[in-house]
Structure 1
Amino acid sequence: MDTSTLLLVDIVLHQRSLRGAARHSGRPASSIAAALARCESALSTSLCQRAGSGLVFTLEANRLAPSITEAAQVARRLYAPGSDPFLSTVRLQALGRFIEVAERGSIRQAARALMLGQPQLSRQLAHLETALGHTLLERGTGGTELTATGVRLLDDCSRLLQLWGQISRTSEDRFRRAQATVRLGSIMPLGYESEIARQLAKLTASWAITRPKQPLFISSTTAEELLRGLKSGAFDVVLLDTERLPEDLEGAPIVASGLAIVGAKGTDIAAALRDRPIALPSPRSGLRLRIDQLLDMTFSDAERDRLTLLEIDSIPVILNLVLEYGFVSVLPRASVASIRPDLHSIALPSAFDMQYWLCWLKSAGHSAAGIAVLDAIERATVPAPH
């Protein structure tokens, strides 16, 4: 960490925008963004997210803001009047080495303690004095003494390092946790009684027992976003509803679920789909691909054009349209069986069953995570009811 980064991040936290911080500091917006990214990397946490033209700050940013402000105030006091702290940035490591020399009264002894060469340490101290615009040390044959300015700034250097220690105290733990976390992406469960929700609950319970020290993060989205996240590194493992795996993935099927036309009576599949509007997810989901297969097998192109289809990537909204507004949909049978006793449905042939796959990229790191999740699922047992 360095003084310039602390000063710029403090301005961002007060201005609440990158452009405002750029105007206030006279620095380019790109420099502000880079400083914010450096600080977030050092802290292993996010401080803000873009929202339109502004920023939304995290709870962690709000918690750290007072300490960052105090650290920025101390950092400003280190510079001589007229010095530009944005151009003459100083690493906090250099301040720590200055403190070591001040406490030992000798560059040679400090270099030995720091396991540095004496010429190297001397050059770093000279650079520090140039950057701050102050002479901090008087060098003599009997050792090194602090100048009056050096004495005055010594406490500020110590305080700045103490503040940074408080600000970054949990960053190492966060970094280790982030490195150890297995990130699982899943298609969106239909509800708490759906097969996907049951499988994820079993997995989580088993993971907590078998790997209590390794965090598991689970997030739900569409199949298309899951594949994109897997390839970008946002997910280590994903749970997909797909007929077959893409060639660059490997994995295993974990469960299958039959489908039904929900909200329809009788046994005539074509009539059920033709006579009512159909609420269905977008093609970004594996379920939609299966529904399209059903529609292609049931209707000609001309008949398909006459169907009323509404795409909605929200299962709760689809269910409400079925329950309250006379729509039909194609959904997993087990997921809707207990929603309402009078909810009619037509079961589809087993050829339309949905297969759920646990899958990952074909690489050593992803394979290890995938096998660990698969093992936890296979070990999971459903507890007996109380």
Structure 2
Amino acid sequence: MDLRFLESFVEVAECGSLAEAARRLNLTPAAVAQRLRALEADLGHALVSRVGRTVRPTASGLAVLPFARRLLADARDLRAIAANDLPAGELRLGSIATGLTGLLPQVIPPMRARWPRIEFFVRPGSSLDHFHAVLSGEVDAALIVRPPVQIPKAMSWLTLREEPLILIMPEQMEGTSIQAILRAAPFIRYDRSQWGGQIVDRYLRANKQKTWDFLELDALDAIAALVSRGVGVSIVPDWAPPWPAGLRLRRLALPDAGARSIGILWKRSGPRIAAVRALVETCADTFLNGPDSATSQPTIWQA
């Protein structure tokens, strides 16, 4: 049985679309469909069915799916184990949106140059989702907001960046009184279901700041774009650049408002621990030990 066929089946089952699975696998939809037919012929059962433009697993497909995922994971682990404790094999990472744009592009190129046998898989998502993904082993490490809960003993944490809260407003808006600005303008909230949004909410509550809530979003770049267009004002962390191009904003510092800590969370053991250690080392060299780093010493939390 060809593992590539299993990989195509898993992607189609998760995406619900041949076209999207083909995009992720860098194949044509026809090639993915051909792989599925070959796998179905090998197993003797139909694994997917079409409902309009959607592709769904059949009963046989649902039964096979967890075993297929396990086989693929075991195959990835074998490549890492065979490397004899050298960084190699697939490194599965999770990252919040600002980590994808502001941090990973600085980390992956030097890692590829130094450890060319590492293969990268990056999954976007929220800090909460990635916390549980690291805990369950779905991903090996994640760039997230520091968890507001105690970090389990099986995990480690490295703080890479402190992002102070700032008030952003349209460029043409006047005034320097935080309280007056928040009372006068529509307020676009950073989603309180996000750990970063909870930091903003705690600041507002602690300072008894009244806001005229207009909208609540989890996408920081969308919040900044709306503020730039004059829709309202917002309080956000001063996240790692790049910010969206063409923004016309004023930024006001918020004294004693706290900050959003961004870092890397990982499990201390596992078949790909050599690649994970290479990632942590590269992150520390890039963001903590370089000439432009804001923090000279790594802050590593371990139970």
The TM-score normalised by the length of structure 2 is 0.64
Quick check: 221-230 or 203-212, which moved more?
A: 221-230
RMSD: 3.8
- 1:332 matches 2:237: yes
The offset of 1:338, in angstroms, is 8.5
- Map of 2:267 onto structure 1: 361
C-alpha separation in 1, matches of 2:38 and 2:163: 58
C-alpha separation in 2, matches of 1:240 and 1:71: 37
- Map of 1:56 onto structure 2: 17
User: Which of 246, 267, 280 in structure 1 is aligned with 2:189?
Assistant: 280
The offset of 1:349, in angstroms, is 2.3
Quick one: percent identity of the two aligned structures?
A: 19
Higher relative contact order (CA 8 A, sep 6+): 2
Shift in alpha-carbon separation, 1:345–1:42, aligned structure 2, 3 A: closer
The offset of 1:181, in angstroms, is 1.1
- Map of 2:105 onto structure 1: 201
Give the counterpart letter for 1:62 in structure 2.
Answer: A
Q: Is the 8 A contact 1:236 1:370 kept in 2?
A: yes
- Map of 1:46 onto structure 2: 8
Shift in alpha-carbon separation, 1:183–1:341, aligned structure 2, 3 A: closer
- Map of 2:204 onto structure 1: 295
C-alpha separation in 2, matches of 1:329 and 1:312: 11
- Map of 1:375 onto structure 2: 281
C-alpha separation in 1, matches of 2:188 and 2:176: 19
Equivalent runs, 1:113-262 vs 2, <5 Å: 175-176=75-76, 180-189=89-98, 197-242=101-146, 246-248=150-152, 249-262=155-168
Q: Is the 8 A contact 1:181 1:216 kept in 2?
A: yes
The offset of 1:297, in angstroms, is 1.6
C-alpha separation in 2, matches of 1:297 and 1:355: 19
Give the counterpart letter for 2:17 in structure 1.
Answer: V
The offset of 1:66, in angstroms, is 4.6
Quick check: 317-326 or 356-365, which moved more?
A: 356-365
Query: Structure 1: 5+ residue runs without aligned partners?
Result: 2-38, 76-84, 87-170, 190-194
The offset of 1:198, in angstroms, is 3.3
Shift in alpha-carbon separation, 1:351–1:320, aligned structure 2, 3 A: closer
Quick check: 274-283 or 59-68, which moved more?
A: 59-68
Q: Deviation string for 1:312-364 (max 9, x for gaps)?
A: 12223212220113311122336488955752121122551221121123545
3-state SS, counterpart of residue 216 of structure 1: strand
Equivalent runs, 1:341-360 vs 2, <5 Å: 342-349=248-255, 351-360=257-266
Equivalent runs, 1:5-24 vs 2, <5 Å: none
The offset of 1:212, in angstroms, is 0.8
C-alpha separation in 2, matches of 1:298 and 1:280: 16
Q: Deviation string for 1:178-205 (max 9, x for gaps)?
A: 862111111111xxxxx76332111111
- 1:320 matches 2:230: no
Q: Deviation string for 1:18-71 (max 9, x for gaps)?
A: xxxxxxxxxxxxxxxxxxxxx8x67341322367xxx42233563154577689
Give the counterpart letter for 1:378 in structure 2.
Answer: A
The TM-score normalised by the length of structure 1 is 0.52
C-alpha separation in 2, matches of 1:70 and 1:364: 33
When you count helix as a share of all residues, which structure comes out higher?
A: 1
When you count strand as a share of all residues, which structure comes out higher?
A: 2
Shift in alpha-carbon separation, 1:200–1:72, aligned structure 2, 3 A: closer
Give the counterpart letter for 1:43 in structure 2.
Answer: F
Query: Structure 2: 5+ residue runs without aligned partners?
Result: 46-70, 81-88, 292-303
C-alpha separation in 1, matches of 2:39 and 2:245: 56
Structure of higher CA gyration radius: 1
Give the counterpart letter for 2:278 in structure 1.
Answer: A
C-alpha separation in 2, matches of 1:67 and 1:339: 42
Q: Is the 8 A contact 1:312 1:318 kept in 2?
A: yes
C-alpha separation in 2, matches of 1:244 and 1:368: 28
Q: Is the 8 A contact 1:206 1:379 kept in 2?
A: no
Q: Is the 8 A contact 1:360 1:367 kept in 2?
A: no
Would you say how many aligned residue pairs link Structure 1 and Structure 2? 238
Q: Deviation string for 1:245-278 (max 9, x for gaps)?
A: 6321321111212221000643322222222222
Q: Is the 8 A contact 1:206 1:380 kept in 2?
A: no
C-alpha separation in 1, matches of 2:130 and 2:276: 14
3-state SS, counterpart of residue 358 of structure 1: strand
